[in-house]
A and B are shown apart, each in its own frame.
Chain A
Amino acid sequence: LYEPPFWGTVAAALIVLVPLRLPVLRRWSLAAINFGLLALLLNGVQLVAVAAAVLAAYLLLKLVERGRGSLLAVGLGIAGVLALFVLHKLPRLAADLGLEDLAGVLRIVGFSYVTLRFIDVSLAVWESRQAPGLPATVNYLLPFHMLAAGPIQAYNEFVDQPSIGPKLSISGALTACERIAAGLFKKYVLAVSINDLFLTGFRGRGWYFLLEVQLHYLWLYLDFSAYSDIAVGVGCLLGVATPENFNKPYLARNMIDYWERWHISLSMFIRRHLFIPVQLWLVRRSDGRWPLRSASLAFLVSFGLCGLWHELSLRWLLWGLIQALGLSACTAYRHALVRRLGRQGVKAYLANPWIRVLAIVFTFEFVAFSLVVVRFPYEGYLR
């Protein structure tokens, strides 16, 4: 997506949005720009279909705002979006149904992310009874600079951002440009070089396999965080709030810490809409007798689904279950530590630099090896 149409849209957005200080005009202009990028990527019929879908989402959210039958509206909306999500994730099914064109549109708009944004806005409107206007619906669901790989901005955060940010200063522009340049450098120089020079899709043997496990994790971080660097940089230039998605994930000292540093917007979504509701439900059902078991089961459900969100496949489900295992083990270890050492003892334990380094290395390796599960060439081994 980071090709001429994208950079053309960035340039157009800069020219239009930077001098524009009137909130209503800014909202509509940004919506036009968001649609502008899609207009460059889609044909006429596809563009009309996307416009109709956004209009439908807008009307549905208005219905939710009114209150009567809102549960039904939210349910129907989310069910419809999930059906499209399944089509998006199973292109062969889409082809069998003769819906290749639709699948093409879903791919271009980054429908995995749109799905999560739609769920977030539906539930937020259901709770707050305040639906977005038409331009805000477009700007929330299809933000052009977050289309390719997120982040997934929380709707409540989107609403809370000031309608006009501070004026773009020279030093602000410089920092934003540095961020974009660093993102492009990470993606097109470092990540591309690591991928082309070292990664074999885990076909190497012996020590090379172990080396590739490390390099693959390094490559993934450089490639993925680069997207969010570019998105945040563009957002800063345009005065459009864009959440950070990474916070030094290699320094995570356990899996809970890791998920607060890696793909932050996704893990916050999981926490809000999957982990906390499931855990609360389980705790209530068991009268709070098995907090550890409830947390583990909630991790299992939420990260199992998180794996399937990445791809509807067994390998990604397995990846999700491994994440859940790591998170559950971390929670259990924490409980055991508190029981054995007491609160003060745990403080001293956490402050110990050797334990810290060991924990960081262990977490790094756990994540690196868990990623092998999704990229390993099973074809040669399974019949």
Chain B
Amino acid sequence: MAVQNSLWLIDGIPWWQFILRVLWITAQLSLVLWIGKRGALFFYQGF
């Protein structure tokens, strides 16, 4: 069981959850960089 765990867990977290969390961080930071660069008002007017 322990061996199986080590295959599917990354430091106690299921691998799919780990990847989702990394993607979530990346998505937030991408928006920060995008909006930070262009300015929120411009972002709004763009629509």
A binds B: yes
The answer to whether B41 touches A188, judged by C-beta atoms less than 8 angstroms apart, is no
The answer to whether B40 touches A196, judged by C-beta atoms less than 8 angstroms apart, is yes
8 Å CB interface, B3-18 against A: 10-13, 18
Minimum CB–CB distance from B22 to chain A (whole Å) comes to 7
The answer to whether A193 touches B32, judged by C-beta atoms less than 8 angstroms apart, is no
Residues of A within 8 A of B12 (CB): 171
Contact bitstring B18-35, A, C-beta under 8 A = 1, else 0: 100110110011011001
The answer to whether A193 touches B29, judged by C-beta atoms less than 8 angstroms apart, is no
- The distance in angstroms between the C-alpha atoms of A171 and B36, with both chains bound, is 28
Using known A-B contacts A188-B36, A196-B40, A197-B40, determine if residue A174 contacts B13 with beta carbons closer than 8 Å: yes
Minimum CB–CB distance from B46 to chain A (whole Å) comes to 12
Residues of A within 8 A of B22 (CB): 174
Which A residue sits closest to B36, measured CB to CB? A188
Residues of A within 8 A of B35 (CB): 188-189, 192-193
Tally A residues with Cβ within 8 Å of B.
17
Residues of B within 8 A of A192 (CB): 35-36, 39-40
Using known A-B contacts A184-B29, A193-B40, A196-B41, determine if residue A178 contacts B24 with beta carbons closer than 8 Å: yes
Contact of B32 among A169, A170, A178, A188 (CB under 8 A): A188
A-side binding surface: helix, strand, loop or mixed?
A: helix
Minimum CB–CB distance from A232 to chain B (whole Å) comes to 15
The answer to whether A196 touches B32, judged by C-beta atoms less than 8 angstroms apart, is no
The answer to whether A182 touches B13, judged by C-beta atoms less than 8 angstroms apart, is no
Residues of A within 8 A of B40 (CB): 189, 192-193, 195-197
A372 at the interface (CB under 8 A from B): no
8 Å CB interface, A284-300 against B: none
Residues of B within 8 A of A174 (CB): 13, 18, 21-22, 25
Which A residue sits closest to B13, measured CB to CB? A171
Contact bitstring A141-185, B, C-beta under 8 A = 1, else 0: 000000000000000000000000000011100100110011011
Which A residue sits closest to B41, measured CB to CB? A196
The answer to whether B32 touches A171, judged by C-beta atoms less than 8 angstroms apart, is no
Minimum CB–CB distance from B31 to chain A (whole Å) comes to 5
Contact of B25 among A169, A181, A197 (CB under 8 A): A181
The answer to whether A189 touches B10, judged by C-beta atoms less than 8 angstroms apart, is no
Q: Which of B12, B24, B25, B39 has the most CB of A within 10 A?
A: B25
Residues of A within 8 A of B11 (CB): 169-171
Minimum CB–CB distance from A25 to chain B (whole Å) comes to 26
Minimum CB–CB distance from A100 to chain B (whole Å) comes to 30
The answer to whether B32 touches A184, judged by C-beta atoms less than 8 angstroms apart, is yes
Contact of B21 among A178, A184, A193, A197 (CB under 8 A): A178
Residues of B within 8 A of A178 (CB): 21, 24-25
- The distance in angstroms between the C-alpha atoms of A181 and B44, with both chains bound, is 22
Which A residue sits closest to B10, measured CB to CB? A170
Residues of A within 8 A of B31 (CB): 185, 189
Residues of A within 8 A of B29 (CB): 181, 184-185
Minimum CB–CB distance from B20 to chain A (whole Å) comes to 11
Which A residue sits closest to B39, measured CB to CB? A196
The answer to whether B41 touches A197, judged by C-beta atoms less than 8 angstroms apart, is yes
Residues of B within 8 A of A169 (CB): 11
Minimum CB–CB distance from B21 to chain A (whole Å) comes to 6
The answer to whether A193 touches B25, judged by C-beta atoms less than 8 angstroms apart, is no
Residues of B within 8 A of A171 (CB): 10-13
Minimum CB–CB distance from A67 to chain B (whole Å) comes to 49
- The distance in angstroms between the C-alpha atoms of A178 and B17, with both chains bound, is 13
- The distance in angstroms between the C-alpha atoms of A190 and B18, with both chains bound, is 25
14 A-B contact pairs sorted by A residue (CB < 8 Å): A170-B10, A170-B13, A171-B11, A171-B13, A174-B13, A178-B21, A178-B25, A182-B28, A188-B32, A188-B35, A189-B31, A189-B32, A196-B39, A197-B41
List 20 additional contacts besides A174-B22, A192-B39; criterion CB under 8 Å.
Answer: A169-B11, A170-B10, A170-B13, A171-B10, A171-B12, A174-B13, A174-B18, A181-B25, A181-B29, A181-B32, A184-B28, A184-B29, A185-B28, A188-B32, A188-B36, A193-B44, A195-B40, A196-B39, A196-B41, A196-B44
